[in-house]
Amino acid sequence: MGSAATFRLAAGATSVAVRHRTVDEIWFVATGVGEMWLADDDAARVVALRPGTCVAIPCGTRFQFRATEELDVFGVTMPPWPGDGEAIGVDGPWEPTVDPGPGLA
């Protein structure tokens, strides 16, 4: 069992960097262009986000994304999203341009 959600980030916007406490996440880019930074204890990398790109985000991985063109993403979490406090703010490589969402720990 899991849960799913859609995300939209405006062109030129950058998210807050986070990590998840208990869930793995898989993102599928529906439309738009951008980048995602992913980091764990071993390495960091930047993944190009384009329509059709699928990105796995294992639990505990630090990540942040930004949009060159408006970005629409479909995401699935396993197990289901537990609610407020699941996402923890972390330091990322880019300055966020949006406010943290509700429930950010």
pLDDT tier at 25, thresholds 50, 70, 90? very high
pLDDT at 105 over 80: no
pLDDT tens readout for residues 26-42: 999 999 999 999 999 89
Fold assignment, 3-88:
Jelly Rolls (2.60.120)
Give residue 100's pLDDT.
86
Q: Is 32 left (phi over 0), alpha (psi -120 to 50) or beta?
A: left
Q: Where are the beta strands (DSSP E) in the chain?
A: 3-9, 18-20, 24-39, 44-49, 54-57, 62-78, 87-89
- Mean pLDDT, rounded, for 56-81: 97
- Mean pLDDT, rounded, for 65-82: 97
